[in-house]
């Protein structure tokens, strides 16, 4: 089994997340993609205003029609800060040796990885797939790979060998200039978010009056 682990705050989940996960699922022949909303994201100090339960409920609605997508509450259930190292180790324990794990993250998120908890250890645990995102360049990842992980990748290599037989891949996904921040801003201004996220998520947001106070 090839399993994608797709972490994020998903505040809220949107079409950028979904098209990324679906593209990577196909391109890397993943059997399942696990969406893992974080409970208390260490990199986003302001606590989200809407609570973990709503973020989980929205992901549940967003992925309901895709049999390969699953919601994991492993981070949401854990007390304390959400660390990716702990999450991957938890999946290794529960899924066993049969599962080949692929950690999915956008290039914007990877550019912050040096500030994460034990990033070197994380890169030893599983495969990594770094996806494109409008406004960010894969080239910016190379200095980080050299400086912090002692790797010396060929410029523009699409695949880089990691310790312990794992690989790091750079993957192009369709460019959607959508972010949760932008959606929260639009909702705070009482503007439409139609076509930015799935309809069941939009109706959930509107019926629960979420993000109405954001600026």
Residues that bind ligand ATP (CB under 6 A): 8-11, 16-17, 20, 105-106, 108-109, 131, 133, 173, 176, 178-181
Residue 194 CB, nearest approach to ligand ATP (Å)? 17
- CB nearer to ligand ATP: pick between 150 and 189: 189
Q: What count of other Cβ atoms lies within 10 Å of the Cβ of residue 92?
A: 14
Residue nearest to ligand ATP (CB): 106
Residue 104 CB, nearest approach to ligand ATP (Å)? 7
- CB nearer to ligand ATP: pick between 72 and 180: 180
- CB nearer to ligand ATP: pick between 58 and 160: 58
- CB nearer to ligand ATP: pick between 167 and 214: 214
Residue 96 CB, nearest approach to ligand ATP (Å)? 26
**CA-to-CA distance for 7 and 41, rounded, in angstroms?**
10
Residue 50 CB, nearest approach to ligand ATP (Å)? 12
What are the respective helix, strand and coil percentages of the chain, to the nearest 5? 40, 20, 45
Question: Alpha-carbon dihedral of residues 69, 205, 40, 107, nearest 10 degrees?
Answer: 60
Query: Which H/E stretch holds residue 25?
Result: helix 15-27
Residue 11 CB, nearest approach to ligand ATP (Å)? 5
**CA-to-CA distance for 70 and 20, rounded, in angstroms?**
15
Tell me which residue of 51, 68, 162, 72 sits closest to 113, measured CA to CA.
Answer: 162
Residue 206 CB, nearest approach to ligand ATP (Å)? 19
- CB nearer to ligand ATP: pick between 109 and 168: 109
Using a 10 angstrom Cβ sphere, with 0-12 exposed, 13-18 middle and 19 or more buried, the burial of residue 212 is exposed
- CB nearer to ligand ATP: pick between 93 and 131: 131
**CA-to-CA distance for 13 and 18, rounded, in angstroms?**
8
């Amino acid at each position: 089994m090839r399993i994608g682990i797709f972490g994020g705050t998903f505040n809220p989940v949107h079409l950028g997340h979904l098209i990324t996960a679906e593209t990577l699922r196909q391109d890397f022949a993943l059997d399942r993609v696990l969406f893992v909303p974080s409970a208390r994201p260490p990199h986003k100090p302001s606590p989200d205003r809407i609570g973990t339960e709503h973020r989980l409920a929205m992901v549940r609605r967003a992925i309901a029609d895709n049999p390969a997508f699953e919601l994991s509450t492993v981070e949401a259930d854990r007390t304390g800060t959400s660390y990716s190292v702990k999450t991957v180790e938890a999946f290794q324990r529960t899924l066993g040796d049969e599962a080949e794990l692929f950690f999915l993250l956008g290039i914007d998120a990877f550019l912050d990885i040096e500030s994460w908890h034990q990033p070197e250890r994380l890169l030893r645990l599983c495969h990594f797939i770094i996806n494109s995102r409008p406004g960010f360049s894969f080239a910016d990842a190379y200095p980080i790979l050299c400086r912090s992980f002692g790797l010396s990748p060929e410029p523009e290599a699409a695949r880089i060998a990691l310790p312990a037989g794992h690989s790091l891949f750079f993957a192009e996904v369709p460019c959607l200039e959508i972010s949760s921040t932008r959606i929260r801003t639009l909702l705070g201004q009482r503007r439409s978010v139609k076509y930015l996220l799935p309809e069941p998520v939009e109706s959930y947001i509107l019926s629960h009056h979420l993000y109405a106070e954001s600026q």
